[in-house]
């Protein structure tokens, strides 16, 4: 594999420019700048809120310095509360080119678009002259999420990803699974796989926190589409979601923006800490994808039974379809047909190996289906987290 070397020693599998709006009022200018370029070269991300949030600040810092990002253009209205100066300094310290367009200061929409577009054009020219260097599997971070699950998800796609994760962990890569709200009932199984007794307690606590959160909200992450697809209970959905983690030892527990420093399998706790303040913890699959990317994920493995068309900004999304009928109906959006397991045409181990091989291909420049179609979805909302403790990480 090959990657683009960054000053912090990490390597990216893409070399994109991110155009970042720092308040909803600046989204139009950012979008117009992004639309002037190929979707594979320039991705638009942003935070719509106007009052500050530590979670959003941390997320933006991690996303703008992700290994797949080569340069950053910040778009500020000028009067929002987001710490644009702090973010710019953080990006500059990472060695990446960064430039800020202040819409109020520069003179409005038209001038902002023209100036930002010119900067991106010049910067892309510099990035395209960079040469990739060799990259080892141990330098990879891979995240996984499921969306649009049905009765086939826990039988084919999810356990196939688990097999791929086991292969990656053997290569000392870093693998991250999440959705603690969809792991209710699996906490003791996960605890039995923890690297330490202390971590086992943290894993139990993360699932218990999710259960309390949903009780307070009055509903869980079990959606009508899941029932329509044949799932009967949150426990059944949980077992399917859990299957994505494979069988390796769980090395640690992290929260959004925490980047593992050594290989292994990690659980990402995405449910906010403290009292319920901001509503449902993840309002769409792309919110969870963004959190996995903020933890350093180079690629996202997305499993689906009902079907999904989402991709993501910054990191490629590989979609593994659980249901053979869905795959045939939506094959333009699906990378792998794990439903072949149901038809007796492939084993879980064979599909897991296929996923692992596709990861290598995508790392070396092959486009996933969502990339081919130009999908660069992104969403970021308000949350609140407490720092993880020493028992959450490997010694």
Query: Going residue by residue through the chain (395 aa), what tens digit of pLDDT does each one get?
Result: 999 999 999 999 999 999 999 999 999 999 999 999 988 899 999 999 999 999 999 999 999 999 999 999 999 999 999 999 999 999 999 999 999 999 999 999 999 999 999 999 999 999 999 999 999 999 999 999 998 778 888 899 999 999 999 999 999 999 999 988 888 888 999 999 999 999 999 999 999 999 899 889 887 665 555 656 666 666 666 677 899 999 999 999 999 999 999 999 999 999 999 999 888 888 889 999 999 999 999 999 999 999 999 999 999 999 999 999 999 999 999 999 999 999 899 999 999 999 999 999 999 999 999 999 999 999 999 999 999 999 999 86
CA-based nearest residue to 174, from 90, 251, 60, 234: 251
Task: For residue 304, give the nearest of 147, 87, 110, 74 by alpha carbon.
Answer: 147
Does residue 367 contact residue 327 with C-beta atoms inside 8 Å?
Answer: no
Sheet containing 317-321: order of strands: 250-254, 264-268, 174-177, 141-146, 299-304, 317-321, 336-337
Q: What is the pLDDT of residue 234?
A: 62
**pLDDT for position 99:** 98
pTM over 0.85, yes/no: yes
Contact 346, 156 (CB under 8 A): no
How far is Cα of residue 49 from the mean position of the Cα atoms in its chain?
20
Predicted confidence at residue 70, as pLDDT, reads 98
CA angle 86, 93, 16 (to 5 degrees): 95
Q: According to the model, what pLDDT value does residue 225 have?
A: 56
Residue with tokens 């308040």: 23
The label of the residue with tokens 């090395």 reads: 251
What is residue 120's predicted lDDT score, i.e. its pLDDT? 98
At 148, list the tokens: 């649009």
* DSSP string across 218-250: T--S--HHHHHTT---HHHHHHHHHGGG-SSPE
Report yes or no: 69 and 7 within 8 Å, Cβ to Cβ: no
Distance, in Å, from the CA atom of 311 to the CA atom of 305, rounded to the nearest integer, reads: 16
Q: What value, to the nearest 5°, has the Cα angle with vertex 140 and ends 143 and 294? A: 50
Which two three-digit tokens encode residue 105? 């200061």
DSSP 367: P
Is 106 in contact with 18 (CB distance < 8 Å)? no
Q: Calculate ∠ Cα 249-9-195, nearest 5°.
A: 15
């Amino acid at each position: 594999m090959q990657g683009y070397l960054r000053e912090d020693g990490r390597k990216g599998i893409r070399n994109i420019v991110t155009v970042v709006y720092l308040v909803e009022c600046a989204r139009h200018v950012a979008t117009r700048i992004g639309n002037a370029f190929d979707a594979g070269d320039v991705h638009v991300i942003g935070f719509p809120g106007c009052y500050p949030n530590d979670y959003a600040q941390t997320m933006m810092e991690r996303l703008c310095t992700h290994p797949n990002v080569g340069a950053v253009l910040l778009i500020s209205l000028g009067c929002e509360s987001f710490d644009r100066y702090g973010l710019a300094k953080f990006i500059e310290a990472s060695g990446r080119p960064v430039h800020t367009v202040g819409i109020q200061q520069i003179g409005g929409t038209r001038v902002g678009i023209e100036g930002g577009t010119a900067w991106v054009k010049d910067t892309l020219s510099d990035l395209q002259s960079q040469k990739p260097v060799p990259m080892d599997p141990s330098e990879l971070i891979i995240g996984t999420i499921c969306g649009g699950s049905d009765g086939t998800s826990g039988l084919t796609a999810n356990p196939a990803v688990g097999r791929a994760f086991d292969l990656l962990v053997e290569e000392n890569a870093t693998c991250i699974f999440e959705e603690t709200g969809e792991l209710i009932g699996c906490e003791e199984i996960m605890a039995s796989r923890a690297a330490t007794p202390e971590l086992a307690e943290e894993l139990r606590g993360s699932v218990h926190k999710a259960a309390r959160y949903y009780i307070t909200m009055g509903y869980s992450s079990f959606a009508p589409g899941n029932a329509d697809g044949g799932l009967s209970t949150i426990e059944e959905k949980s077992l399917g979601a859990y299957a994505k983690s494979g069988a390796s030892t769980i090395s640690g527990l992290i929260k959004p923006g925490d980047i593992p420093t050594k290989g292994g399998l990690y659980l990402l706790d995405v449910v906010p800490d403290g009292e319920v303040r901001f509503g449902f913890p993840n309002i769409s699959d792309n919110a969870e994808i963004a959190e996995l990317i903020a933890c350093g994920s180079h690629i996202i493995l997305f499993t689906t039974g009902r079907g999904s068309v989402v991709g993501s900004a910054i990191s490629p999304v590989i979609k593994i379809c659980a249901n053979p009928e869905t795959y045939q109906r939506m094959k333009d959006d699906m990378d792998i047909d794990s439903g072949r397991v149901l038809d007796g045409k492939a084993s879980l181990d064979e599909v897991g190996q296929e996923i692992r091989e596709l990861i290598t291909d995508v790392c070396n420049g092959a486009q996933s289906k969502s990339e081919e179609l130009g999908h660069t979805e992104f969403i970021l909302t308000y949350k609140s987290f407490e720092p993880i403790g020493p028992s959450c990480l490997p010694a």
